[in-house]
Amino acid sequence: MDAPRSGAPPAVGGAPGIDRAPFEQFLIHEARLLDERRFRDWMALFAEDGTYWVPAVPDQASPLDQASLFYDDRDLMRTRVERLEHPRIHVQTPPSRTAHLVGNVVVDEADEAKGEYLVGSTVIMVESRDETQRVFAGRQRHRLRRAGASFLIVQKRVDLINCDAAFEAMAVPI
């Protein structure tokens, strides 16, 4: 039998006193833009200096000295989105249909004075395309900056649980 507990219960994480609802709502909104293939609107969620990073190995320390599945700044993101809109993108003929589920949202760090936050969550994306359905799952980390009533993404990092696997072609962001 366990020894009787004494003192405070173990911390469960998360920045104290922060309401996670607006962050959760933001992440749900982002996922919805991707599922609706509103890639330009999705890109507009990113700050001008924002980046989208999907590492290719677990615990990858840097996108600068190692290969990544995605490491887009706004310029590369724009090229990616223009390509997704191109009528002759063969790998999206027919297009992917996706369903994102975002959960387990925790505001891990909050600097209210600067309006900067680090939000952790779990993402599952099911993708169906041309007879094949597959699942992507992983941990997300959104570094957000407050912008008026909402946020801008400074960095979105998605650590897929199978990030170092060999993948069939991936055309849409996770």
Partner 1 sequence: MHNGGADDIAKLIEPGRVHRRVYTDPDIFELEMERIFGRAWLFVGHTSQVPQACDFVTTELGRQPVIMTRHRDGSVHVLINRCTHRGAKVVNERKGHSPRLTCCYHGWTFDTDGRLVTVPVPEGCAADFDKSAFGLARAPRVGEYRGFVFASLSPKGPSFEDHIGPMKRNIDDLVDRAPDGTLALDAGMHRYVYAGNWKLQVENVLDSYHVPFGHASTVNKQGQQFARREGDRKGATVVEADKKQTAASWKDRKSYITGNGHGWTSNTTLDEGKRSSPAYDAYKQALAAKVGAARAAEILTPRLHNSLIYPNMSIMGLNIHVRVIKPVAVDRTEVTIYPIRLVGAPDAMNSGNIRLLNVTHSASSFVQTDDLESFVRAQKGLRSLGTDWVDISRGLGDEEPDRELNATRALATHEMVVRAQYKAWTGYMREAA
Chain residues that interact with partner 1, rule: CB under 8 A: 54, 56-57, 63-72, 76, 79-80, 82-83, 86, 88-91, 93, 164-171
The least distance separating partner 1 from the CB of residue 4, rounded to whole angstroms, comes to 42
**Sign of CA pseudo-dihedral 32, 35, 37, 39:** positive
Shortest Å distance, C-beta 19 to partner 1: 34
CB closer to partner 1 out of 112 and 130 = 130
Length in residues, the chain: 174
Q: Which residue has the tokens 């960095």?
A: 155
Distance (Å, rounded) from C-alpha 105 to C-alpha 21? 9
Q: Which is nearer to partner 1, 18 or 170 (CB)?
A: 170
At its nearest, how many Å lie between partner 1 and the CB of residue 173? 8
- Specify the residue, 52 or 151, whose C-beta has the smaller distance to partner 1: 52
Measured from the CB atom, the residue of 62 and 150 that comes closer to partner 1 is 62
Task: Write out the DSSP string of 45-99.
Answer: TEEEEEEEEEESSTT---SSSS-EEEEE-HHHHHHHHHHHH-TT-GGGSSPPEEE
Minimum Å gap between C-beta 84 and partner 1 is 8
- Cα torsion through 133, 137, 141, 146, rounded to 10: 40
Report whether 27 contacts 105 (CB < 8 A).
Answer: yes
Identity of the residue numbered 96: S
Q: Work out how close the CB of 154 gets to partner 1 at its nearest, in angstroms, rounded to a whole number.
A: 18
Residue among 63 and 138 whose Cβ is closer to partner 1: 63
CA–CA separation, 134 vs 107, rounded Å? Answer: 29
